[in-house]
Amino acid sequence: MSKIRVISGGVTSAKGFRAAGVPAEIKYKGRNDVALIVADAPCAAAAVFTTNQVAAAPVLYDREIVKGGKIQAILANSGCANACTGEEGLKDAKLSALVTAGEFGIDPKYVLVASTGVIGRRLPLDRLLAGMKAAKQALGTTAEHGLNAEKAVMTTDTKPKQACVTTTIGGKKVTVGGMSKGSGMIEPNMATMLGFITTDAAITPAMIKRALKLAIAKSFNRLVVDGDESTNDSVFLLASGAAGNAVITQGGADFDAFREALEAVCISLARQMATDGEGATKFVTVTVKGAKSEKDAARAARAVAKSPLAKTSWFGRDPNWGRVLAAVGYSGATVVDMKAEVFYDKVWAFTCGKIADEKQLAKLAEVMKKDAFEVVVDLHLGEGESSIYTCDFSLDYVHINADYTT
Amino acid sequence: MSKIRVISGGVTSAKGFRAAGVPAEIKYKGRNDVALIVADAPCAAAAVFTTNQVAAAPVLYDREIVKGGKIQAILANSGCANACTGEEGLKDAKLSALVTAGEFGIDPKYVLVASTGVIGRRLPLDRLLAGMKAAKQALGTTAEHGLNAEKAVMTTDTKPKQACVTTTIGGKKVTVGGMSKGSGMIEPNMATMLGFITTDAAITPAMIKRALKLAIAKSFNRLVVDGDESTNDSVFLLASGAAGNAVITQGGADFDAFREALEAVCISLARQMATDGEGATKFVTVTVKGAKSEKDAARAARAVAKSPLAKTSWFGRDPNWGRVLAAVGYSGATVVDMKAEVFYDKVWAFTCGKIADEKQLAKLAEVMKKDAFEVVVDLHLGEGESSIYTCDFSLDYVHINADYTT
């Protein structure tokens, strides 16, 4: 990991990529809602999509296209998810890809599309394609261009989310940069999130796919906002090869270096998404260790991260370890309550039957004031350990989701 | 079902039972928090408890006691759950049962205890037992006595929950009455709820157990408030036999008549609990039909009922069928979105790809204003059908749970 350097940047940081984001009135006036990410040539590419059986049209379309392993352009929009729109929605997705390909004079098999926003509305194709053409005119390689693209995919996000690192592979400097959107409905596997990652590493489609899956397992799939899972989640990774390293064709030091850089970007984006969870006032890492198995640890951590009672207690600054242990208790993981410990950061709240007294509660009160803390449950039953990134459940979460749509 | 008559009443309605509720300062001053339900003689009895691995001391204690199949008295308290209190908590539970038995001069094997409230605090035994003695003095058979007992087990409940029906078994009038508490953390299997049901039917312990399991499957286990599951959930059923019917020893018409009466009481209590869900402004029945199997229907209905996004949309009066379908999509149930329909009461919002237009939205807006409605998802894939009782997710849910405890 020592070779990795974190820098500021996003999808335009790696060599070989241009991006743009423009306003096209997909749903609202006066905000960016159409983005383009375009590579100088077809890139090795991979993508991972939602497992929701109700998958949006762009997901259904992209799943087929990405099998080719080479992608040059991605057209994305916010304001309309193009989900639950049936055959017509699928035609809309395809048509927007075809027109984009035509505009750039490239083969449609190199073009992906991504949508996010309200479910059950048809894409306003005329405005989307006008936006695509305007975005084409606006393409560029600066950080500003990357930021504009990111702004165009945001929905209830309050902050743009970008991450970038450099590393060295075979003596060459390689850059991996990305952007993502998603603040509600984020749950493994990747609900209502879109992620776009570009790199100038030279790597085969097969290896890029493997690297992406590994990175997602350690980042986006460890993210819980509200436990809902969306119809549109997609993470895209494009590699231009412009860094000039020897093409990564198999596992080994080069692959590991690439994977680590990619993971660093994905984890950063995932953390930014939890921090910006709808209405979130706190970023919380839930770690369960000492579980009988890693699977037990993961299901227990997820149950705590999804528990409305635990989440509201964090919002209320209440070190309510009882709700945490109750969630572990119904998670399906093996737990013996009198062997368990619950910590907030490194301060214990419950330890093998011993309950925090006034003095300990005062220490806990300090932790609960923080904007970010870790809830650690040690089950003392084995070696299994797993962490989930999440946030609290606030009044604003309800405001945001009661008022969104219609 | 035709023989069943709904009457007002609760745990004191059936012949052979007395009840009381008194203030004992378990946690707060000036409110009932200790209840007693006492039968004139040992009753055929059954109970069902939480499946949470972190089970409270009274649950651990009662599980053993109830195996005897005969119970004469139940001591219950609110304000302290006696959960995560280890060996000492278990001793407290046992001691309170023993002292109660001694006070009534009955065998401790006939005495159950139940607690609800904050997790991780020891029971204040002196106050609990003083309360038990005061309650003994206050015992009586009137509706007022039943209501006082109910008030003593309420926590964040805003309304007392009681239900009572009469039926005819073998020419004899039989009464089944009950009370319950629970408004948050209510989820199958029966989280943070306590239910107490009494009947004067004559029935064996084996058959009462069977009837209770069947009734719970159709009532409390179809209830979702927030998806959390508690450490203390218990439902108790005591049958005095005072109605004088021929003892029900096996399946048949008499058993069915009893079972139906019991179900009616349990379903009424479950509905009252959903209506009184923490912060709830709406009672919502989620029905999934046309599923490939009943299991599919149940998991899909549960996913919708648990979805924070669906629940907040109900609070916001938004007929957001997209969130409903998305939840079905990640539930694990088989779904083909273009074959599915979503209704609010009998008004469609989405039907096989067709989306509500302005005129339809106006009709939906009328449904969404109601205090109670049904969300129906018809998957058109088979015969599976299942319903869940739930409520919306409001600002007050967050208020209540952010402010409760410490």
Interface contact A87-B334, CB threshold 8 A: no
- Which residues are CB-neighbours of A4 under 8 A, at least 6 positions away? A165, A166, A167, A260, A261, A264
CATH value at residue A391: 3.10.20.340
A302-314 average pLDDT score: 89
User: Which residues in chain B have Cβ-Cβ distances shorter than 8 Å to A121?
Assistant: 355
Interface contact B308-A313, CB threshold 8 A: no
Q: Choose the closest CB to B86 out of A85, A353, A399.
A: A353
Q: Exposed (0-12), middle (13-18) or buried (19+): which is A57, by Cβ within 10 Å?
A: buried
B13 and B107 in a common domain: yes
B179 and B300 in a common domain: no
A66-77 average pLDDT score: 97
Q: Is the pLDDT of residue A294 over 50?
A: yes
Which residue has better confidence, B186 or A214?
Answer: A214
Using the 3D structure, point to which of B242, B273, B304 is the last residue of a domain: B273
Q: How distant is the Cα of B276 from the closest Cα of chain A, in angstroms?
A: 17
- Which residues are CB-neighbours of A319 under 8 A, at least 6 positions away? A313, A344, A349, A356, A361, A364, A365, A367, A368, B406
Overall number of domains in chain A: 2
A250 and A340 in a common domain: no
CATH value at residue A207: 3.60.70.12
Helices (H) and strands (E) in chain B, counts: 11, 15
Q: Give the model's pLDDT for residue B228.
A: 64
Instruction: Indicate whether B377 belongs to any domain.
Output: yes
Using the 3D structure, point to which of A257, A275, A293 is the last residue of a domain: A275
Residue B109 in tokens: 């094997």
pLDDT along chain B (406 residues), means of 10: 85 98 94 97 95 89 97 96 91 98 97 91 96 98 97 90 96 97 59 88 97 92 71 93 97 96 94 82 93 94 89 90 89 91 95 88 94 95 93 78 60
Using the 3D structure, point to which of B273, B303, B333 is the last residue of a domain: B273
User: Which residues in chain A have Cβ-Cβ distances shorter than 8 Å to B398?
Assistant: 312, 315, 393-395, 397-398
B253 and B213 in a common domain: yes
Q: How distant is the Cα of B109 from the closest Cα of chain A, in angstroms?
A: 26
- Distance, CA of A230 to CA of A3 (rounded, Å): 36
Picking from A267, A75, A272, the residue whose alpha carbon sits closest to that of residue A158 is A272
Q: Give the model's pLDDT for residue B192.
A: 67
Interface contact A398-B401, CB threshold 8 A: no
- Distance, CA of B98 to CA of B261 (rounded, Å): 33
User: Which residues in chain B have Cβ-Cβ distances shorter than 8 Å to A185?
Assistant: 309, 326
Q: How distant is the Cα of A117 from the closest Cα of chain B, in angstroms?
A: 11
Instruction: Indicate whether B380 belongs to any domain.
Output: yes
Instruction: Indicate whether B144 belongs to any domain.
Output: yes
Q: Give the model's pLDDT for residue A328.
A: 93
Q: Which span out of A102-116, A295-309, B155-169 was modeled with the highest average pLDDT?
A: A102-116
Alpha helices in A276-320 (DSSP H): 294-306, 308-315
Q: Choose the closest CB to A52 out of B54, B118, B326.
A: B326
Give chain A's length.
Answer: 406
Instruction: Indicate whether B75 belongs to any domain.
Output: yes
A338 and A255 in a common domain: no
Instruction: Indicate whether B152 belongs to any domain.
Output: yes
Interface contact B397-A326, CB threshold 8 A: no
Interface contact B231-A326, CB threshold 8 A: yes
What pTM, to 2 d.p., does this model score? 0.78
User: Which residues in chain B have Cβ-Cβ distances shorter than 8 Å to A303?
Assistant: none
B47 and B186 in a common domain: yes
Residues A147-171: pLDDT tens digits? 999 999 998 888 999 999 999 999 9
Interface contact A54-B320, CB threshold 8 A: no
A83 and A200 in a common domain: yes
Q: How distant is the Cα of B54 from the closest Cα of chain A, in angstroms?
A: 5
- Which residues are CB-neighbours of B50 under 8 A, at least 6 positions away? B56, B59, B189, B190, B191, B229, B230, B231, B232, B233, B234
Radius of gyration of chain A (CA): 22
User: Which residues in chain B have Cβ-Cβ distances shorter than 8 Å to A55?
Assistant: 329
Query: Number of CB pairs < 8 Å for A and B?
Result: 206
- The DSSP output letter for A248 is B
Residue B208 in tokens: 């009462």
User: Which residues in chain A have Cβ-Cβ distances shorter than 8 Å to B406?
Assistant: 318-320, 361
Q: Give the model's pLDDT for residue A192.
A: 67
Helix, coil or strand: residue A237: strand
Interface contact B335-A54, CB threshold 8 A: yes
Instruction: Indicate whether B340 belongs to any domain.
Output: yes
- Distance, CA of B229 to CA of B219 (rounded, Å): 16
Q: Choose the closest CB to B353 out of A86, A323, A350.
A: A86
A269 and A287 in a common domain: no
pLDDT interval class at A405 (50, 70, 90): low
A111 and A190 in a common domain: yes
Give chain B's length.
Answer: 406
Segments forming the whole domain that contains residue A127:
5-275
Q: Is the pLDDT of residue A187 over 70?
A: no
Picking from B367, B292, B360, B276, the residue whose alpha carbon sits closest to that of residue B331 is B292
Instruction: Indicate whether B158 belongs to any domain.
Output: yes
Closest Cα in chain B to A354: B85
Whether B121 and B86 have beta carbons less than 8 Å apart is answered as no
Q: Give the model's pLDDT for residue B308.
A: 84
B307 and B202 in a common domain: no
Interface contact A120-B402, CB threshold 8 A: no
Instruction: Indicate whether B278 belongs to any domain.
Output: no
Residue B334 in tokens: 């088989």
- Which residues of B are designated catalytic? 192
Q: Choose the closest CB to A52 out of B227, B329, B361.
A: B329
> B interface mutation test: which of A309, A321, A381 has the most B CBs within 10 A?
A309
B238 and B337 in a common domain: no
Interface contact B398-A403, CB threshold 8 A: no
So what's the ipTM on this one?
0.71
User: Which residues in chain B have Cβ-Cβ distances shorter than 8 Å to A401?
Assistant: 308-309, 312-313, 316
Q: How distant is the Cα of B295 from the closest Cα of chain A, in angstroms?
A: 17
Interface contact A227-B307, CB threshold 8 A: yes
A164 and A236 in a common domain: yes
Q: Give the model's pLDDT for residue B16.
A: 97
- The DSSP output letter for B287 is E
Whether B117 and B24 have beta carbons less than 8 Å apart is answered as no
